[in-house]
Amino acid sequence: MKNSLFSFLILLSAFIFTNVATAHAEMEDYPSIKLQALDKSTARTITFEAEVGSTIEYGRLFIKIQACRKAPALETPESAAFIQVWEVPPESKKSDWVFSGWMYASSPALSAMDHPVYDVWVLDCLGKSKETIAFEAEMAEQAKKEAQEAKEAEAASEEVIDSEARTEATEAIDEVIERITDTE
């Protein structure tokens, strides 16, 4: 009983690990992010957009956007961002790390920033990178070209088949005419 339960748990964890690794591998990089922040002392929220690689100042917090990834449109919607947050207390020259890691738009509590005054969470990744747009356009053009070539090849093969069928029909008619003339 214990061995079968142990085997089941190993298989289940392998399945989960494989699915998580696959989902992460399919996400695409995006050049900007949409974040929302809450100042708990005033109950005010703010939504802002930033480029990957930039640093935003919000109150006493500094938010550095390291990466923003999003699942393809046909997959389960998910946006994830790797961000680093540090605080510079008033009248202090030393900063304190508040958060460093991945945040997920669909599950903000999964990897939440823990701060007494501020909350920050990911809403979405915005705009594809120029490289991704160029690559997708190139792939679409290649697919269009291959489809056109396949269509032309199909038309050419139909012409060959039609010409062979005509030749066979002509030969059959000639044979029938020959038989008729031989019997007369």
Mean pLDDT of 166-184: 77
Which residue is associated with the tokens 């930033």? 50
Distance CA 117, CA 23 (A): 34
Report in angstroms the alpha-carbon separations of 47 from 126, 181, 182.
13, 94, 95
Give the separation between CA 176 and CA 29, rounded to whole angstroms: 71
pTM over 0.75: no
> Has residue 10 got a pLDDT over 70?
no
Query: Residue 111: pLDDT band by 50, 70, 90 thresholds?
Result: confident
Q: Is the pLDDT of residue 8 over 60?
A: no
Question: Whole-angstrom Cα distance, residue 107 to residue 118?
Answer: 18
Identify the pLDDT of residue 156: 74
Q: Are 165 and 173 in contact (CB under 8 A)?
A: no
